[in-house]
Amino acid sequence: MSTVTLFGLCGAVLIGLGLYGALTHPQPLRKLIAFNLLGSGIFLLFGTIARRGAWNAVGGDPVPQALVITGVVVAFAATAFAVALLLRLFKESGEATLDPTAPVGAPPGRPES
């Protein structure tokens, strides 16, 4: 098995794990970690694609590398934002869960009067 294939498979496994975690865990923090796992898998896959694109005496396709850097920045910003939101929710309500059993049709807050 070539290195490129190995890394590609690793990326696929990470994506699968991340997707599984994101869909099955109701806790926001776990979902967030799963998203990061999924994101890392995508970046690894993209790196593999860049390496596979090595031809004409170029060691690798430079475009995916540039895109991965941007992607990492975006994923970092998203994670920081979600954690900030989660911390604030914990401070306000004392819990860090989104109850999946709560009826969606229920009003988000009690009527003011």
Partner 1 sequence: MIAEPDIANVAMTTPGGAWLIAALVWPVIAVLLTIVGGGRYAARIAIASMPVGLAVSVAIAARVLPEGDALVYLVGGWAPPLGIALRADALSAVMMLTTAVVISGAGLFAYADFGPKPGEPETRTSLVFWTLLIAVWGAMNLVVTGHDLFNLYVALELLTFAAVPLVCLDGRAATLAAALRYLMFALLGSVLYLLGAVLLYGAYGTLDITLLAARVQPEPAAWVAAALMTAGLLAKTALFPLHLWLPPAHAGAPPAASAILSALVVKGSFVLIIRLWFEVMPALWSVAATQLIAALGAAAILYGSVLALRQQRLKLLIAYSTVAQIGYLFLMFPLAFDPATAQLQGGVALTGGVLQTVSHAFAKAGMFMAAGLIASSLGHDRVADLAGVGRALPMSLIAFGLAGVSLVGLPPSGGFVAKWLLLSAAVSTGQWWWATVLVVGGLLTGGYVMLVLIRAMGTVAESAAPLKPVARSREAIALAMSLCAALLGLLALGPVELPTFGTSGVATAVAEVGP
Considering the complex, what minimum distance in angstroms separates the CB of residue 25 from partner 1? 10
Considering the complex, what minimum distance in angstroms separates the CB of residue 1 from partner 1? 18
Residues near partner 1 (CB under 8 A) are: 15, 18, 22, 28, 31-32, 35, 38-39, 42, 45-46, 49, 52-53, 61, 63-64, 67, 70-71, 74, 77-78, 81-82, 85-86, 88-89, 92-93, 98, 104-105, 107-109, 111-113
Considering the complex, what minimum distance in angstroms separates the CB of residue 53 from partner 1? 7
CA 68 to chain centre: 13
- Cβ–Cβ < 8 Å for 21, 30: yes
* DSSP H/E element including 36: helix 28-52
- Cβ–Cβ < 8 Å for 106, 39: no
Q: Which amino acid is at 82?
A: A
